[in-house]
Structure 1
Amino acid sequence: MAEPLAAARGRFAPPRPSPLPGGAHPGAASERGGAAGSGAVASLLLLLLLLLLPPGAGGTPPRLCGSCPGPPRNGSVVAQFCASRADSELWGRCCVGRGSGRQHLLGLDLSSCSLRALPSAFSEAAAAVVLDLTENPLAALPDGSFLGFTQLQQLVVPLSVPCPGGSGAWEEVTTYGSGRLCQGQRNPCNGSEELVPLCPENAACAPDGPGFSQCLCAGPFHGYKCLRQGAFPVPLFCSVLGTVTAALSLALWGTQRRHAAGP
């Protein structure tokens, strides 16, 4: 009886995995699953990249360009300005650098758009050189509407609306028809000493729009009142932030795991 048992042990082998329906092998299925998982990860990364791209990247026109139907009206300061530059073109209600996108917006014509207030995306036109807001039932413009519009040199507003920053913020203010032309933005840092803002010792005054100025730290100073010297410690900041994030993630993971393992 010993010999048959020994022979039986010698012939024993572990069961072979049975093929999947259709004759496919489980290994092939896992390979296809891995490929599908890799494709899903790639798609997710592409979606995140598109979401992280700034609006207007890739030549997309700014939203303001289509906020009002039709092209700029004939004879507007925007149309004249765009026609005088060989490197610019009309794009909806905008004058943009030829072949460029949002970051190269040069002019914006929002005349006759029935505006009672400035559009919510008006700050997108901060790089504009010319702006036309005539033929609109606009009330007085809120303070700070043109904060950051440092390149603006020609602005036309309805007669009921004063030039932003007051007439002292412009080289010339004229009226014609139903519009008021504010031309030649002045640098508030070049005015009298009473008007120039008092900046810290290691900072200098810089224009920040019609009637606005700001204090910018001179390198290598930074921080509150420009009292800190040297470059910002990016590696130290990132390492501390990464450590704190990892610790919080581990703590949350452990807490959730204990909850999941409980009754």
Structure 2
Amino acid sequence: QMARRRPGGPTSLVLCATALLLALGVERALALPEICIQCPGSVQNLSEVALFCKQTPKLMLYARCCFNQKGAILGLDLQNCSLKDPGPNFPQAHTAIIIDLQANPLKDDLVNTFHGFTQLQTLILPQNVSCPGGISAWNTITTHTDKQTCQGQRNLCNSTGSPEMCPENGSCAPNGPGLLQCLCADGFHGYKCMRQGSFSLIVFFGILGSTTVSIRILLWETQRRKAKSS
């Protein structure tokens, strides 16, 4: 007869150790950005962020965020977090497709808050807060009794007159809801993309280094003279 394995035998210990290492590995892999944990609790099951995350393959919910397999934030739910503004960590969610900020005492002007949020397609706000960029920045804006939904971010570079705002050697690019930026063409840089050639970091740091050394020598000479006079 074969001896029965005890519950606390070597095999059980190995399994427990493996499970612990896996748990630690998952937690380390999900070193959460501060924006995901700045508000207590987790995403509610019936929230639009949760529904988006569960309906999209290979996404996972953790704390207040919905992540893809690469760890990028695709959904952020900060509803009912007593926020007057999204806070300094908000740019960590610039890759988000859907963001929910309803039920917060937010200030109305949020345009500059969404610099770089070029992937954002659904933004849910308190009813009294305007969609950043206004109607020209979104395909549809729907007002409900307790919230406002901004849907389908528009590329303003496709609007009449927008490309002309960039210089001859630059091109228009979206930079978030209602925001644009001008990108210099290859081989151009500087003010209005008027300088030709690549930007030389060696020259820049060379000038910076020589200036720093000169200032240090000047300060040392001044201190030496003061010491002699005293």
Query: Structure 1 length as normaliser, TM-score?
Result: 0.68
The residue number in structure 2 matching 1:106 is 74
The residue number in structure 1 matching 2:173 is 206
Q: Match of 2:35, as an amino acid? A: L
The residue number in structure 2 matching 1:216 is 183
Unaligned runs of 5+ in 1: 1-56
Determine helix, strand or coil for the equivalent of 1:145: helix
**Percent identical:** 46
Listed one character per residue, the Cα deviations across residues 144-164 of structure 1 (whole Å, up to 9, x for unaligned) are 222221111111112222221
The residue number in structure 2 matching 1:174 is 142
Q: What is the Cα-based RMSD across aligned positions, in Å?
A: 2.5
The residue number in structure 2 matching 1:8 is none
Go from structure 1 to structure 2 and tell me whether the alpha carbon gap of 1:113 and 1:205 turns closer, same or farther (over 3 Å shift): same
The residue number in structure 2 matching 1:238 is 205
Unaligned runs of 5+ in 2: 1-27
Question: 2:117, 2:210 → 1: CA distance?
Answer: 40
Question: 1:125, 1:203 → 2: CA distance?
Answer: 28
Question: 1:129, 1:187 → 2: CA distance?
Answer: 15
Q: Is the 8 A contact 2:115 2:179 kept in 1?
A: yes
The residue number in structure 1 matching 2:103 is 135
Determine helix, strand or coil for the equivalent of 1:144: helix
Go from structure 1 to structure 2 and tell me whether the alpha carbon gap of 1:61 and 1:86 turns closer, same or farther (over 3 Å shift): same
Query: After TM superposition, what 4+ stretches of structure 1 lie above 6 angstroms from structure 2?
Result: none
Question: 1:107, 1:131 → 2: CA distance?
Answer: 6
The residue number in structure 1 matching 2:46 is 75
Question: 1:248, 1:255 → 2: CA distance?
Answer: 11
Determine helix, strand or coil for the equivalent of 1:235: helix
Listed one character per residue, the Cα deviations across residues 55-86 of structure 1 (whole Å, up to 9, x for unaligned) are xx985322111111111122222112222334
Q: Is the 8 A contact 1:106 1:129 kept in 2?
A: yes
Deviation at 1:177, TM superposition (A): 5.5
Structure 2 residue 118 is matched with structure 1 residue 150: yes
Structure 2 residue 60 is matched with structure 1 residue 89: yes
Q: Is the 8 A contact 1:173 1:181 kept in 2?
A: yes
How many residues align? The count is 203
Question: 1:152, 1:126 → 2: CA distance?
Answer: 8
Larger radius of gyration: 1
Q: What are the within-5 Å matches in structure 2 for residues 17-56 of structure 1?
A: none
Question: 1:68, 1:161 → 2: CA distance?
Answer: 20
